[in-house]
Structure 1
């Protein structure tokens, strides 16, 4: 008996997505190609035709490799190409200002276009190298005091080390993970929290990179899921983090006590859990706070967009990640269209504050440009 492969169903949504993908990819590669190899530069033959072939091949390769989702090697190449071409696209547009200035200054072509092309090439290489260095380095420590008016003096000075968006993935960063944990342990924090997006891949795939998290030496360790866990068996990650000694706040809370005073740490599943198909997973703040004592609440919620629910529930401090601070400038302007805050401490309503971390790792392109990674040490202060 023979079987025939089922062809992918052609839908309007699929056609529109494909057209948008091709259009965006074409622009990303065409703009820097024209900046570097403009006809007005009159480069000797066959520079421009060869460059056109190279750019076209890179664009096709990026799309093809992105479709090979199970291959770490394909992911490494395609993600680097994406970051590289984004940097090239942005800085090509910026060097057009130099082109305009030279034109107004009377510099004629081909000299004008050649000066701009050389400058652009240097900038692209330098920014890319800087971005890779920033992404691959152990995160810097960022210290932030947070005054919580309802905090009992018994908890004044409590320190919370925040890591998030580690995104263990196609590039094996086991050594980086060890360095991050060593840096975190050097803070001697009272509480450590991981606010989601621990990895791209299953717990089994990324076990080597995640294992150092078991050596975090704080008295309390709390973890919640981010949206990326719901691409790769979130329950598997909860199970692994539990084995590594972290308390998964799966729509639940834990109450800390000091000298009769109380402080609640609560956590919710990421909002994408609702439609993930993962049994028993869905963001449920009501359930997370059910039975909590009348005490200040620190809520772990992966996405800053959950702040409205936190305000309505009377949460004192929400800790989030997800944004990466934009990761590669000026992408933070696009992030801001979806999230209320990109990074830092902000106030919402009369009681609630939100701290949004830029994240400790990176997603996709192994680059961070003007959005440095961080391990955050929050010091809670009573009024």
Structure 2
């Protein structure tokens, strides 16, 4: 009987043919699967993780020429709210409530109220209106997504 151990198979060159590294077709298929998994992971992160990732950072600035009346002024800055299909208004309202709990005296919003062709429904408008309750008010500028979706609606929502 002939030996059939690993050394015999290796000596005949068997067992190495067809390895992913040797077969261009299998190597290409493996790379496509890796790319698909990577893109799927990025898509899931963009759709489910980042939209719900709210970061509150408190900073203190010392400006030598700032009027004494403004010393200790609390300013809240929100950006990229992206109301729309992928970002429910209730999630954004939760983030806004967290910011308002810090009792800012002034609220600044820098654009991208909507995402895609999303429309600002009553819940979104109520969330934006809540920020106007800050003692010095709320001020906003439009972002690139707002212009694509129709700036007039975002402008009307900021006047609430």
Common topology (TM > 0.5): yes
The answer for the alignment partner of 1:146 in structure 2 is 61
Q: Residue 111 of structure 2 contacts residue 140 of structure 2 at CA under 8 Å; is this kept in 1?
A: yes
Q: Residue 110 of structure 2 contacts residue 141 of structure 2 at CA under 8 Å; is this kept in 1?
A: yes
Q: What secondary structure is seen at the aligned counterpart in 2 of 1:236? A: helix
Measure the CA separation in 2 of the matches of 1:192 and 1:41.
Answer: 61
CA radius of gyration, larger in = 2
Measure the CA separation in 1 of the matches of 2:108 and 2:43.
Answer: 31
Measure the CA separation in 1 of the matches of 2:96 and 2:151.
Answer: 22
Measure the CA separation in 1 of the matches of 2:140 and 2:112.
Answer: 10
Higher strand fraction (1 or 2): 1
Long gaps (5+) in structure 1? 1-37, 59-80, 89-124, 244-383
The answer for the alignment partner of 1:182 in structure 2 is 97
Measure the CA separation in 2 of the matches of 1:153 and 1:173.
Answer: 41
The answer for the alignment partner of 1:240 in structure 2 is 157
Measure the CA separation in 2 of the matches of 1:232 and 1:166.
Answer: 14
The answer for the alignment partner of 1:228 in structure 2 is 145
173 and 229 in structure 1: CA distance in 2 versus 1, 3 angstrom threshold: same
The answer for the alignment partner of 2:21 in structure 1 is 40
The answer for the alignment partner of 1:165 in structure 2 is 80
Measure the CA separation in 2 of the matches of 1:225 and 1:215.
Answer: 18
Q: What secondary structure is seen at the aligned counterpart in 2 of 1:194? A: strand
Q: Residue 164 of structure 1 contacts residue 197 of structure 1 at CA under 8 Å; is this kept in 2?
A: yes
C-alpha displacement of 1:164: 0.7
Please give the root-mean-square deviation of Cα atoms over the aligned residues, in Å.
3.6
The answer for the alignment partner of 1:155 in structure 2 is 70
Q: Residue 202 of structure 1 contacts residue 236 of structure 1 at CA under 8 Å; is this kept in 2?
A: no
51 and 202 in structure 1: CA distance in 2 versus 1, 3 angstrom threshold: closer
Measure the CA separation in 2 of the matches of 1:47 and 1:163.
Answer: 46
47 and 159 in structure 1: CA distance in 2 versus 1, 3 angstrom threshold: same
Measure the CA separation in 2 of the matches of 1:177 and 1:149.
Answer: 35
Long gaps (5+) in structure 2? 1-18
Q: What secondary structure is seen at the aligned counterpart in 2 of 1:142? A: coil
* TM-score (norm. length: structure 1): 0.31
Give yes or no for the alignment of 1:210 onto 2:131: no
210 and 55 in structure 1: CA distance in 2 versus 1, 3 angstrom threshold: same
Deviation digits for residues 37-80 of structure 1, max 9, x if unmatched? x94076xx98965985x799x7xxxxxxxxxxxxxxxxxxxxxx
226 and 132 in structure 1: CA distance in 2 versus 1, 3 angstrom threshold: closer
